Every structure is written in C-alpha cells, then in structure tokens.
C-alpha cells in the first residue's frame, strides 16, 4: 500500500533543477509559423521568459543566423534578459553546437526545458538528442510553433513517444510557484499571470478589484 506524503513528485519542475533553452524566437521563423497566432506566441514567450527571470532559472538563449537571415530574438524575451548573452548558431539542431553543450554542462542540470521555433526542427533536434544522452526533457508547446498544425502536432507526438513531457507556458510559471504562501515570488507571479495569463489573468484582476481576493496568501 503506497503511503501519501506531502512532498512534490520528482517529475515536477522546481527553479533549481532544470535549464531552460529558448530557441529561435525570431521574426523570420515566426513569419511562417501557422500553428499558433503570432500575438499569442509572443505573449507566451514573454510569460516563459518572465517566469525564468523571476525564479532565477538557469537559462540559455539562442538564435540561428540572426544577422544574415532570421533577425533578432523577440523583444519580449530580450527585454526580460537585456544583458543575457545570445548564442547565434548555424546548426538547426541546437544540441549540435559545441557552445550549447559547454553551457549545459556548466549549468549542470539534469532536466532540460525547451521552447522555440519550429517545433519539428529546432525543438525535436535538441529534445531527442538530450533524451538520448540521459537528460529529462520538457517542451513548452504553446511557446513553440511550426509551419502547420500537422507539423507541430506530429513533432510533439514524436518527442512524447521518446519520453519528452509536454507542458504550457502558464503551467510552467505556476509549477515553479506551486504554493501561494511563497511570499518572495507571489507578487511577481501574480503580475506575470495578469499580464500574460489570458482569462486567468482577468480573473485575478476581477478578484482583487472586487473583493481584495488573494490565492491563499
């Protein structure tokens, strides 16, 4: 008979157990992305970036052919990490760039969280490569996108079949917070949810304005 304990499951993410890699959130890549509206994509990328900054998550930012073809990383990400270096690659598979491997090893986390464009190329590549090398891999599917719904869905299925764990941007933020009694991050988590959390954010505005509501805090 299993014994229940008030402790989180080992597969739940916490701020110190993973490296977030945000990949190729760039204009040229977004132009052809059809599986998600570009406004929603930019919103979700901002949510993920703000969550990572708030919780001091080890983060790698990377682009492909920034100056020659794909353009700069979304300002929704760069404005959150204004001084953070961005590794610009030629490889479609981020994992095949030696600088990425060096940085992943330097950060020393056993879990990798991925988000970027396009799902079927720039996310599948590092996801399957990292899994093959023994990392646990999570994919933020609504901060990623592809040239069609079919391409995005098949890519997610392919990664899941190999052991990757899909999640959403708001789920990522709330999984890092996980307890509304964590006062040191409470206010910023709520602010990020209000700014980028869609209907949930509207609910927070309403609750606070109408009756001073707060989530158990």
Q: Which residues are catalytic?
A: 122
Closest to 100 (Cα-Cα) out of 125, 66, 117: 125
Rounded to the nearest 10 degrees, what angle do helices 124-132 and 149-161 cross at? Answer: 0
Q: Tell me how far apart the terminal alpha carbons of the chain are, to the nearest angstrom.
A: 34
Pull the structure tokens for residue 92: 């479609």
For residue 98, give every residue at least 6 positions away whose Cβ sits within 8 Å of its Cβ, in sequence order, or none: none
Rounded to the nearest 10 degrees, what angle do helices 183-196 and 198-211 cross at? Answer: 120
Pull the structure tokens for residue 212: 């001073």
Read off φ and ψ for residue 161, nearest 5 degrees. Answer: -60, -30
No. of helices (H) and no. of strands (E), the chain: 9, 6
Closest to 24 (Cα-Cα) out of 74, 68, 67: 74
């Amino acid at each position: 008979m299993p014994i229940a304990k008030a402790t989180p499951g080992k597969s739940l993410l916490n701020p110190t157990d993973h490296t977030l890699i945000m990949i190729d959130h760039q204009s040229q890549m977004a132009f052809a992305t059809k599986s998600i509206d570009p406004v929603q994509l930019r919103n979700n990328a901002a949510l993920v970036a703000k969550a990572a900054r708030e919780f001091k998550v080890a983060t790698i930012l990377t682009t492909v052919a920034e100056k020659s073809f794909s353009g700069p990383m979304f300002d929704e990400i760069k404005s959150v990490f204004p001084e953070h270096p961005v590794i610009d690659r030629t490889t479609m598979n981020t994992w095949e760039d030696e600088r990425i491997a060096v940085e992943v090893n330097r950060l020393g986390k056993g879990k990798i969280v991925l988000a970027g464009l396009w799902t079927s190329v720039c996310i599948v590549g590092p996801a399957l490569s990292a899994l093959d090398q023994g990392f646990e891999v999570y994919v933020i599917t609504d901060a990623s996108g592809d040239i069609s719904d079919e391409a995005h869905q098949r890519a997610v299925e392919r990664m899941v079949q190999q052991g990757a764990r899909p999640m959403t941007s708001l789920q990522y933020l709330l999984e890092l917070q996980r307890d509304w009694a964590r006062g040191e991050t409470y206010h910023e988590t709520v602010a990020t949810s209000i700014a980028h959390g869609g209907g949930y954010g509207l609910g927070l505005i309403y609750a606070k304005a109408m009756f001073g509501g707060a989530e158990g805090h």
